[in-house]
Amino acid sequence: MDHDVTAPSRTKSLYARGAALILDGFLDYNERFADITRRARRCFEHCDWRFAHADAVARIDLYEACIGETMGRLELLLDERIRARGLWAMHSEYAARTATLRDRALARTYFNSLSRQVLQISGVDRRIEFVALSDAHDDGSALLPNLQWYPLAGDIASICTKLLEDFPFANGYTDICHGAEVLGRAMQDRWDPLPRFLQILPQVFYRERRAYLVGTARWPNRQQLCVVALVSAADGVRVHALLTKVEQISVLFGYARSHFHVDLETVDAVVGLLAGLLPHKPVSELYTVLGRAKQGKTERYCELQRYLARYPGEQMVHADGDRGMVMVVFTPPSHPVVIKVIRDRFAYPKDTGRRQVEEKYRLVFHYDRIGRLVDAQEFRDLRIPLEYFSEPLRRELCESCKATTAIVGEDLLLKHCYIERRLRPLNLYVREVLAADALRAVLDYGQAIKDLARSHIFPGDLLLKNFGISRNGRAIFYDYDELCLIDQCRFRKLPKGYDEDELRPLDEWVSARDSDVFPELFPHFLGLPTFLREALQKVHGELFDPAWWQVLQTRLANGEYLDVSPYPEAARLPGY
């Protein structure tokens, strides 16, 4: 019987061609990603904020577009063989081809995206996917090339002038000497003793309407992150703030922020540097905030798997707080995330559906989150062993979420879910802490609503249970099923009622559309103790006045930009 001795060589050739094609697709994506990223500088210099926002959305959507293009080329090469699992053993060939890449983890995640889409993988198949469960990360120092060094000795203003001159802009600095002098004084005020020198990354970080110089301040026995914030206006670039505290920089690189546009030579090294100096910041969140959302998602999966391995006897339970009418929300007790699964049916009075909820989450993913909207990562076909679920939680998922959950062997399959950072629900937090801490949280809750409104977002449901308190004490919104844009609302004053109306339901004596909002009613359903409600009304009373919202709508409709600072007033330079 004759044997086709060329079959193994043909298969090997297909492995090589397929791996080369996928790597070419990734490199093309990476170049296009860098092209968009580099345009951020021009937008900053020309104050072209509309184009900057369009680029931010385009860069987010680029990954799936490139995956689609690569898929099309793979189908032409492999035809019907593309769905043969054995052929995806080319992942070994791909591993060899990416071994010397600086950011090979990004390239390998690209391969995973294709293999999962083609083969409809549920869970993870480690024979044809790249999964690195080690949590070891280099601090990045040795891998970062071309760091800018600035010894802080002698005339500090001259050194700061040199620093700014090393980062020129086409529109120039408004007054570089004055800016350097103020920056130098701020360094002397905030650091005692002064660091021996600064090391600044050569790439500028851009986001929204600001640019940032990011680096480290180094003393003989320690180092810390530092950030110089710049703003651009018609008269040029100004030095606006100096961030030296870990909590300030942690918030700047936080999970409630949009992605930076920074053209990094090596992403892994910068992630390592930041992770080493921001001890509470997971690597997954750093990849995401640097614009590598897919890698952030991969790292979050690995973090979850490491948790499961580390706590084999621990069961996931319902997350603290009120049970959601739209989502079943559960959490691994020793891992700071929540997993959210959309219910099949929503309880009254919710009148929305699954598609609308998913659209809200997509809106937030594409939006400037201004530090007040948590980043929710969308997962499909996530498998977790049944032993990690408490019996009440397993029962509720199987009964209330039949469309998106299934028991497969010894695993629970989550066909669709969201994973996000766990926050303490605000309604619980104010009951648990001292009065002064509760007051600070409630006042920041009021500021959060204002910040969202100024960025064109109305949360929809302002109940305290839909906001959480971060480790840094910030109020962050995380329940998106009623979120909408400000221009979709009609803010109205309550009509004058009569004495008998006080005993009747509101909808019997007030005619309202779905889009109508009555701010005067807000204080009545927040469930706050009297002293907290009165403090909120005193400091943020305009939130309960429909006229404030109407004026805000007009300003936004006229194209006015209402700045929401990403850092506290204390970080700003005097006179700026």
* Contact by Cβ (8 Å): 466, 479: yes
Token readout for 96 is: 């060899």
Q: Give catalytic status of residue 375 as yes or no.
A: yes
Q: How many CA atoms lie within 13 A of 223 on its CB side?
A: 16
Name all contacts of 69-73 with Cβ < 8 Å and 24+ positions apart.
69/25, 69/28, 70/21, 70/22, 70/25, 70/26, 70/114, 71/114, 71/117, 71/118, 73/21, 73/25
Rounded to whole angstroms, what are the CA distances from 135 to 95, 280, 282, 515, 571? 20, 14, 10, 47, 33
Q: Is 169 exposed, middle or buried (0-12, 13-18, 19+ CB in 10 A)?
A: middle
* Contact by Cβ (8 Å): 239, 228: yes
Dist. CA 261–CA 55, nearest whole Å: 10
Instruction: Name 335's Cβ contacts closer than 8 Å, sequence gap at least 6.
Output: 303, 304, 307, 311
Q: At what angle do helices 530-540 and 435-454 cross, to 10 degrees?
A: 40
* Contact by Cβ (8 Å): 416, 380: yes
CA proximity to 155, closest of 200, 106, 199, 194 = 194
Q: Report the C-alpha dihedral over residues 565, 569, 573, 576, rounded to 10 degrees.
A: 60
Token readout for 493 is: 């004053």
User: Which position among 375, 451, 479, 481 bears the catalytic label?
Assistant: 375
Residue type, 365: F
Rounded to whole angstroms, what are the CA distances from 152 to 157, 193, 507, 515, 545? 10, 11, 67, 57, 51
Strands 516-517 and 490-491, sheet pairing? parallel
Residue with tokens 């697709």: 25
Dist. CA 112–CA 187, nearest whole Å: 46
* Contact by Cβ (8 Å): 531, 537: no
> Is residue 250 helix, strand or coil?
helix
Dist. CA 566–CA 371, nearest whole Å: 7
Instruction: Name 124's Cβ contacts closer than 8 Å, sequence gap at least 6.
Output: 131, 301, 383
- Catalytic positions are 375
